[in-house]
Amino acid sequence: TTVVLSENVTSHKTLVDIFDDPAKADYLVTKDIVVTGRLTVQPGVVIEFNQDKSLQIFPEGALIAKGEGTNLIYFTGKVKQKGYWKGISFHSNNAFNELDRVYVGFAGGNPLPDMGNIRTSVAITGTSYSGSSVKIRNSSFNESAGYGIYVAGKSTLDLFHANYFNNNALSALYVPADQLHKLDFFTHYTGNNGFDGIETGGSVNAVNEVTWSYFSD
């Protein structure tokens, strides 16, 4: 039976793969979930979200979602409709934060906390004075009613490699100018998004020279 998730995560918690069939949800999120502990999601786990629900990683929390090979982790809407749920927001700069071999789909319906009117499937929140941090690799961001990913304020991409953006209503992602050098050649930004590319703005405050690379697509 699919496990209902309706309570905040306040300590270490691991979500295990219950069903071998990736078409069947292991977990269903029925309320906004706030994470103040360490949440680990194992390979193969499928998490569906009810309409307008979200997963929020608070400053003292962390999300570790690492798939393995072709055994991906899915964060998706219970209904496969663009913008059905809100998405995932990181308010944490915990070094453990990581999305690896993760599929995020059908989010971006309404703004996540601290994002004003900005809709995005994944928000890395921050201000002009502080920010969050996440490693993101081998993952795809799909069918958002807004951006695929939005990196705000002083947030940082600790690692960014070989990701995909498909059928998002707005740009593949927004990244502050200070983080543009983190984007890699192997990520694909042209997957029928509202804008098949990156939006940016702000200042570059680097001690050493940085390089904005060109992209494979």
Tell me which amino acid residue 53 is. K
Indicate the DSSP class of residue 26: S
**CB proximity list for 112: less than 8 A, separation 6 or greater:** 54, 56, 86, 87, 88, 89, 120, 123, 125
Q: What is the pLDDT of residue 145?
A: 98
pLDDT tens by residue, 150-173? 999 999 999 999 999 999 999 999
Is this structure's pTM higher than 0.75?
yes
47 and 29 Cβ atoms separated by less than 8 Å = yes
User: What is d(CA 153, CA 93) in angstroms, rounded to the nearest whole number?
Assistant: 13
Angle at 36 between CA 138 and CA 159, to 5 degrees: 25
pLDDT tens by residue, 38-97? 999 999 999 999 999 999 999 999 999 999 999 999 999 999 999 999 999 999 999 999
107 and 83 Cβ atoms separated by less than 8 Å = yes
Mean pLDDT of the chain: 97
Query: Residue 188's pLDDT band (boundaries 50, 70, 90)?
Result: very high
Q: Kindly tell me if the per-residue pLDDT of 206 is higher than 90.
A: no
Q: What is the pLDDT of residue 205?
A: 86
Ramachandran angles phi, psi of 123, nearest 5°? -115, 130
98 and 134 Cβ atoms separated by less than 8 Å = yes
pLDDT tens by residue, 87-132? 999 999 999 999 999 999 999 999 999 999 999 999 999 999 999 9
Q: What is the pLDDT of residue 51?
A: 98
The whole-angstrom distance between residue 96's C-alpha and the CA centroid of its chain comes to 14
Q: What is the pLDDT of residue 29?
A: 98
